[in-house]
Amino acid sequence: MSDLITYLKEHQETIIQCWMDNFLPQFPDFYNSEQSLKQLIEQTSIYCGYVYDIHIPYKQHYFFRLIPEICLFFIKGNIPISHILHSNHVWRESLILVSQGYSNLGFCWNQFREIMARIDKFEIAMFEYYYNYINTTLEDKDKTISRLHEEKMSIIGKMAASMAHEIRNPLTVALGFVNLAKTAKSRELHRKSKDYLSIVEEELEKIQMQITGFLSFTKKQLVEEPLQMIRIIEGVESVYALISPRLVNENIRFTIEISDSKLNVQKVGLQQVLSNIINNSIDALLEIDKEREIKITGYNKENHYFLCIENNGPEVSAEIRDQMFSPFVTNKKEGTGLGLAICKQIIEKNGGRIYCDSNREKTKFTMEFPFTM
């Protein structure tokens, strides 16, 4: 072992103290906690071993292999790279200052040069790791930004397609009756105008409900629908009045068994949920040849109100059932996958929850609300 290295080891505490006296006061805000100071001193002691062990190639030294861990320690602590550079320079100066007290320094010049070279190698390796880490981080952020932009554009496209899909049918119906009114003779127009206008109004209300749902889903609504105390039976019957023509056309038996209860909810929002689930049930029933049934039940239980819509259509697979309330999940060929996601958001906004159970005999959607008499 070199006499110089023996001398430096004997004066290691002096070197460390000299380094601390000159380095720490320049960065008081970064090393002011007992824990950070303790970690810094521990790393410094290990660093001393790396500097002195000139008989071990620097790349094979234990401390050199800790460089990634040390860099991450500084990065996570938001400690600038300039601190490492300055720390190394102050360390070099402290080492030179203490070495000057060694009387045979001139005879150990080669060892002294190797010690300085190891300090340089450490500094270079730290900078390389920092550089590569920052570059990789920036590349990852660029990729993430690009991916998020693509996902955002994809969602915008799906939202636009969904909006078009949801409002096309009621708009077509409304425009059809407007054209009928235009071509009808004056006496016939007078006689049927009330019926025509009622149908147009109903279809436009459907569009309004869809737009309300989309705005609710994107959290960009201009006016939040207030809560109001409504009779559940009235809400169900108002939706039934709108969809009854479709139920008749598709030969579906529709039954309602609801207790006469009231809930403090968003009236239009609840109607939209009911309309969406019932229409989904009708779509599902078109796939079967047996007698088609939809049943709505409502009852009070343990301070909660349960509103259930069930049909005897095909079983919904577990895979779809687990994700059916997430955006863009659907098993329909022309479905958009937003309807049930909007329903879930509306129900939760009204303090409730919604879930689905399905087997070979029936599929049931259950809405559960805190109950108020």
Residue-level pLDDT, tens digit, the chain, 373 residues: 458 888 888 888 898 888 888 888 877 776 667 777 777 777 788 888 888 888 899 888 888 888 888 888 778 777 777 877 888 888 889 888 888 888 776 668 888 889 899 889 988 988 888 888 888 988 888 888 888 777 766 666 666 666 666 676 677 767 777 776 676 666 665 666 767 677 777 677 767 766 665 665 555 444 567 889 999 999 999 888 878 888 988 999 999 999 888 999 998 889 889 988 998 899 899 988 899 999 999 999 989 999 999 999 999 998 888 888 887 666 665 555 677 888 898 899 999 999 999 999 999 999 999 876 4
Q: Among the CATH numbers 3.30.565.10, 3.40.605.10, 3.40.47.10, 3.40.50.1240, which is that of 228-370?
A: 3.30.565.10
pLDDT of residue 281: 93
User: With contact defined as beta carbons under 8 Å apart, do 336 and 169 qualify?
Assistant: no
Which fold does the domain 154-218 belong to in CATH?
Helix Hairpins (1.10.287)
pLDDT of residue 215: 61
Assign residue 185 a region (left: φ > 0; alpha: ψ between -120 and 50; beta: otherwise).
beta
Q: How far apart are CA 299 and CA 259, in angstroms?
A: 6
Q: Which residue has the tokens 């320094």?
A: 105
pLDDT of residue 353: 95
| Cα dist from 192 to 65, 180, 187, 199, 310, whole Å | 88, 10, 9, 11, 36
- Tens of pLDDT, residue by residue over 18-58, are 888 888 887 777 666 777 777 777 778 888 888 888 889 98
User: Of 50, 85, 60, 58, nearest to 71 (Cα)?
Assistant: 85
User: Which amino acid is located at 267 in the chain?
Assistant: K
pTM of the full structure? 0.49
Q: Which residue has the tokens 């529709």?
A: 254
What are the residue ranges spanned by the domains of the chain? 3-143, 154-218, 228-370
CATH code of 3-143, in short, is: 1.10.490
Q: Which two tokens stand for residue 115?
A: 């010690």
SS3 state at 369:
strand
pLDDT of residue 340: 87
pLDDT of residue 83: 79
pLDDT of residue 291: 93
User: Of 117, 6, 7, 127, nearest to 51 (Cα)?
Assistant: 117
H helix or E strand, kind and range, residue 309: strand 304-311
Q: Which residues of 176-192 are buried (b: 16+ CB within 10 A; e: fewer)?
A: ebeeeeeeeeeeeeeee
